[in-house]
C-alpha cells in the first residue's frame, strides 16, 4: 500500500529497467549539492552494484500526463552498532518545479512504510553536510545524526 500523495500526483512503481531515469536523478542530486563540475561516473557503477528487484523504486508522476517528477530508491542494509536490519534510502529526489508540495515527505513516508513491511527496524540515508534544505527535511521526518562520515582527500 502506498502513502497518500498531494492532489494531482500518483505513484508509479519503478523497475530496474528504469536505470536511465534513476541515473538522471542521481546525477541531478549530486549536481545540485556539489556543483556542476562534480564527477558523476561513479553513479553509474553504483547502479551496476545495487540496482535490482531487491532495491525498489517508486516514482511520483503527475496525475494528468503521467510525467515522472520525483523518485525514491531504497534497499536493505544492516545497522553497524546493533546489527539490526534497516532500509537504506539511496535517493530521494523531486524535480525543482514540484518542490515544497509535500512530495519529498511522501517519498520518505513510503520508504518508512516499505521498511516496516520488510520487518526492518530503522531507516538510514546519507546527506551532504552543505545541503541544509535536505537536512531540515530529514529532521522534520524524524531522522537524527547517528554518525559522521569523515573523509580526507589524498
pLDDT in tens, 103-122: 999 999 999 999 999 999 99
Whether 122 is in a domain gets the answer: yes
CB 60 within 8 A of CB 6: no
At 49, is the secondary structure helix, strand, or coil?
Answer: helix
Read off the pTM: 0.89
Return d(Cα 88, Cα 68) in angstroms, integer. Answer: 22
The percent of residues above 70 in pLDDT, for the chain, comes to: 97
150 pLDDT higher than 80: no
| CATH code at position 61 | 3.40.630.30
Q: Regarding predicted confidence, which is higher, 77 or 25?
A: 25
Domain hosting residue 31, numbered range: 9-140
Whether 66 is in a domain gets the answer: yes
Strands (E) across 14-121 are located at 57-62, 68-78, 85-94
Whether 38 is in a domain gets the answer: yes
Half-sphere exposure in the Cβ direction for 32 (13 Å, CA): 16
CB 43 within 8 A of CB 93: no
CB 137 within 8 A of CB 100: no
Q: What average pLDDT does range 121-136 have in this prediction?
A: 89
Whether 30 is in a domain gets the answer: yes
What backbone torsions phi and psi does residue 123 show, to the nearest 5 degrees? Answer: -120, 145
Whether 4 is in a domain gets the answer: no
pLDDT of residue 37: 67
Q: What angle do CA 80, 145, 6 make, to 5 degrees?
A: 110
Whether 152 is in a domain gets the answer: no
Q: How many domains does the chain have?
A: 1
Whether 146 is in a domain gets the answer: no
pLDDT in tens, 54-101: 999 999 999 999 999 999 999 998 877 787 889 999 999 999 999 999
CB 11 within 8 A of CB 58: yes
The mean pLDDT of the chain is 91
The percent of residues above 90 in pLDDT, for the chain, comes to: 71
Residues 6+ apart with CB under 8 A from 125: 88, 89, 92, 138, 143
Whether 53 is in a domain gets the answer: yes
Amino acid at each position: 500500500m502506498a502513502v497518500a500523495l498531494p492532489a494531482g500526483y500518483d505513484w508509479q512503481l519503478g523497475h530496474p529497467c528504469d536505470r536511465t531515469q534513476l541515473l538522471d536523478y542521481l546525477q541531478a542530486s549530486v549536481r545540485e549539492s556539489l556543483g556542476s563540475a562534480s564527477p558523476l561516473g561513479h553513479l553509474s557503477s553504483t547502479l551496476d552494484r545495487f540496482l535490482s528487484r531487491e532495491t525498489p523504486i517508486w516514482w511520483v508522476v503527475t496525475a494528468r500526463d503521467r510525467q515522472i517528477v520525483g523518485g525514491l530508491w531504497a534497499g536493505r542494509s544492516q545497522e553497524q552498532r546493533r546489527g539490526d536490519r534497516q532500509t537504506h534510502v539511496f535517493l530521494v529526489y523531486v524535480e525543482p518545479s514540484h518542490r515544497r508540495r509535500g512530495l519529498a515527505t511522501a517519498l520518505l513516508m513510503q520508504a518508512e512504510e516499505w521498511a516496516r513491511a520488510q520487518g526492518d527496524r530503522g531507516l538510514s540515508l546519507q546527506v551532504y553536510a552543505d545541503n541544509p534544505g535536505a537536512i531540515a527535511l530529514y529532521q522534520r521526518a524524524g531522522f537524527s545524526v547517528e554518525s559522521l562520515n569523515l573523509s580526507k582527500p589524498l
